[in-house]
Amino acid sequence: MATLPQLIEEDIRQIDEVLLDFVRQADLIGALVVDKGGFLITNKGDTGDLDLTTIGALASGAFMATQTIAGLVNEKNFNSTFQQGEKFSLFILEIDDECLLVIIFSTETGLGVVKYYSGNVATAIARQLNAARERNPGGGFDLSVLNLANPQELFRKKS
């Protein structure tokens, strides 16, 4: 397994700026950057009390399932998926080999608008993520302060 990728404040700031512009331009409810393993990396928008951690994990799972279907019908890649509801819709677009852009928007916002802007947004985010990966590929994270001799400190059972 490779060393952990690290996202520094500059990475998140750049990605957040791109997302914020996107949310305003396309009148979105929210835009999330999610790792294909299910981790929420960052998000922008007025998402209220939506459980974004779980949405990120489920969206990632759904997208990856769609990729597998692509393989079964001899399609190289379905690079996006779209779900339409009565009030809200969801559009998921592949950013690169590792990440996805998950877009939540009102059904009053046209899918065409979302698609129109999302391509450039994905490209800009991919550029920043790539810069993060190349910055310090051998770098790690110092967790030595943690007392691993006592694993009970990590998760405790209610008494």
Partner 1 sequence: MAIINQATKELQVKIVYYGPAMGGKTTNLVQVHDHVQTNAGNKGKLVSLATSSDRTLFFDFLPIEAMTIKGFKTKFQLYTVPGQVIYNTTRQLVLRGVDGIVFVADSQFEKMPENVESFQNLIDNLTAQRMSLAEIPYVLQYNKRDLPNAAPMEYMDFLLNNREVQVPSFAGTAHKCEGVFESLNMITRMLLQKFINQSMPQYA
Q: Which residues bind partner 1 (CB under 8 A)?
A: 1-9, 11-13, 35-39, 41-42, 51, 53-54, 57-58, 61, 64-65, 68, 138, 140-146, 148, 151-158
Based on CB atoms, which residue is closest to partner 1, 26 or 45? 45
Residue 50 CB, nearest approach to partner 1 (Å): 12
Based on CB atoms, which residue is closest to partner 1, 53 or 84? 53
Query: Cα(153)–Cα(159) distance, rounded to whole angstroms?
Result: 14
Residue 21 CB, nearest approach to partner 1 (Å): 18
Nearest one of 103, 119, 122 to 47, comparing CA atoms: 103
Pair 82, 94: CB distance under 8 Å: no
Residue 116 CB, nearest approach to partner 1 (Å): 28
Based on CB atoms, which residue is closest to partner 1, 111 or 126? 126
**Buried/exposed 36-70: b ≥16 CB within 10 Å, e otherwise:** bebebbbbbbebeebebeebbbebbeebeeebeee
Based on CB atoms, which residue is closest to partner 1, 4 or 108? 4
Mapped onto helix, strand or coil, the DSSP state of residue 91 is: strand
Pair 94, 125: CB distance under 8 Å: no
What angle do helix axes 111-135 and 9-25 make, rounded to 10 degrees? 170
Based on CB atoms, which residue is closest to partner 1, 63 or 91? 63
Residue 137 CB, nearest approach to partner 1 (Å): 12
Residue 2 CB, nearest approach to partner 1 (Å): 7
